Homo-oligomer: A and B are copies of this chain.
Amino acid sequence: MTRTVLESKSKTVVIGFDEPFCVIGERINPTGRKKLAAELEAGDFSTVEKDALEQVACGAMVLDVNAGVVYNSNPDPNLTEPPLMRQMIELVQGLVDVPLCIDSSVPGALEAGLAAAEGRPLLNSVTGEEERLEAILPLVKKYNVPVVAISNDDTGISEDPEVRFAVAKKIVERAADFGIPAHDIVVDPLVMPVGAMGSAGQQVFALVRKLREELGVNTTCGASNISFGLPHRHGINAAFLPMAIGAGMTSAIMNPVRPVEMEAIRAANFLMNHDPNGGEWIRFARVLEQVEAGTPFAEASKAVADASGGRGGRRRRRA
């Protein structure tokens, strides 16, 4: 049974075939967020703090941290990202107690994040590109952490799912050469926009099933890519996530502050028999009631969590 174990200082999260779907919060990322990028360059971390607290309140089980700011004052990310990554990791893990996902294209920033992170973070990411394999897999081995493996290589992103599967397989094999087990590889099979490629959904569902059955790996994706460019994106996302979960997808990097998508995931967990007696669903239904009455999602989530002992119904019963 494939289990990818992540840890914060005191909390363990398992990504696995028999576990509730793992929601990795994507918000702490300045890419495409000009305001956040400017704040970070100015040393203002207030948005990072807010994003950390809100995402965890809404149900993120892991937080992605990306420090990919291109500074106006210094455009070399190899110099600017590593110290910023360290600073952001320290800040976030001081605020919330969930495992982190260290996200960068700069190997030095990944290593700075690994050195700063408590517990067992997820590294994001390696690809099938030769240079990347050689730079990242030694870090994965050295720090004994799991890693996201994105199925593109030196030829780019293939539209052919068989090629993407082959790239994933190559990464798993190369990792094995370093002594890294398959259960520490979380493959991102790459989600194309269904508006541009009608087979995009079916490709992902088939790939996830095959990755699970043939390579025994957990999977993740940038879920909202599926609906890129379409009207009523949340409706597409909210069908895509249950379908992907039904096909065997075990995690996604996504925005957990959207109640529509989180509702779909919690319902899918219940339908996969990963919510014994529906306790989590019933608790979430109370959150939805407050949201329908006008309370913001993060606030409603926090209020319901506080009312059931501050940590959710299931944990409370265990205490």
Q: Which residues of A contact B (CB under 8 A)?
A: 194-195, 198-202, 205, 226, 230-232, 235-236, 238-240, 242-243, 245-247, 263-264, 266-268, 270-273, 275-278, 281-282, 284-286, 288
**Which B residues are in CB contact (< 8 Å) with A264?**
235, 238-239
Residues on B with C-beta less than 8 A from A286 are 231
Distance in angstroms between the alpha carbons of A221 and B130 in the assembled complex: 50
A232 CA / B243 CA spacing, docked (Å): 20
Roughly how many angstroms separate A272 CA and B239 CA in the complex, as a whole number? 11
Q: Give the distance in Å from the alpha carbon of A235 to the alpha carbon of B282 in the complex.
A: 11
What B residues does A242 contact at CB under 8 A?
Answer: 239-240, 242-243, 246
Asked whether, in the complex, the Cβ of B238 is within 8 Å of the Cβ of A238, the reply is: yes
A195 and B272 form a contact (CB under 8 A): no
What distance in Å separates the Cβ of A262 from its nearest Cβ neighbour in chain B?
Answer: 10
**CB–CB B278/A230 < 8 A:** yes
Residue of B nearest to A233 (CB): B285
Instruction: With CB as the reference atom, state the residue of chain B lying closest to A275.
Output: B198
Contacts A194-B278, A246-B246, A278-B195 given; does A236 touch B202 at CB 8 Å: no
Smallest CB separation, A265 vs chain B (Å) = 8
Q: Please report the C-alpha to C-alpha distance between residue A205 and residue B208 in the assembled complex, in whole angstroms.
A: 16
Evaluate contact between A201 and B243: CB separation under 8 angstroms: no
Shortest 3 CB-CB distances between A and B: which pairs?
A201-B271, A239-B267, A231-B285
Chain B residue at minimum C-beta to C-beta distance from A273 = B198
Across the interface, name the chain B residue whose C-beta is closest to A277: B198
CA distance A205 to B202 in the complex (A): 16
Q: How far is the CA of A246 from the CA of B194 in the complex (A)?
A: 15
Known: A264-B238, A281-B236. A194 touches B271 (CB 8 A): yes
A-B CB contact pairs (8 Å), 27 listed: A198-B273, A198-B277, A198-B278, A199-B273, A201-B271, A201-B272, A201-B273, A202-B271, A202-B273, A230-B282, A232-B263, A232-B281, A232-B288, A235-B263, A235-B266, A238-B238, A238-B267, A239-B263, A239-B264, A239-B268, A240-B267, A242-B243, A242-B246, A243-B243, A243-B245, A243-B271, A246-B246
Question: Chain B nearest CB: distance from A313 CB in Å?
Answer: 14
**A282 neighbours in B (Cβ, 8 Å):** 230-231
Of all chain B residues, the one with the shortest Cβ separation from A276 is: B198
**Which chain B positions have C-beta within 8 A of A271?**
194, 200-202, 226, 236, 239-240, 243
Contacts of A245 in B (CB 8 A): 243
Q: Which residues of B contact A247 (CB under 8 A)?
A: 246
A270: chain B residues at CB < 8 Å are 194, 201, 236
Known: A230-B281, A235-B263, A243-B271. 11 other contacts (CB 8 A): A199-B273, A200-B271, A201-B273, A230-B285, A232-B263, A235-B266, A236-B281, A238-B264, A238-B267, A239-B264, A242-B242
Chain B residues with Cβ under 8 A from A243's Cβ?
242-243, 245-246, 268, 271
With CB as the reference atom, state the residue of chain B lying closest to A245. Answer: B243
Closest to A201 in B: B271
| Chain B residues within an 8 Å CB radius of A268 | 239, 243
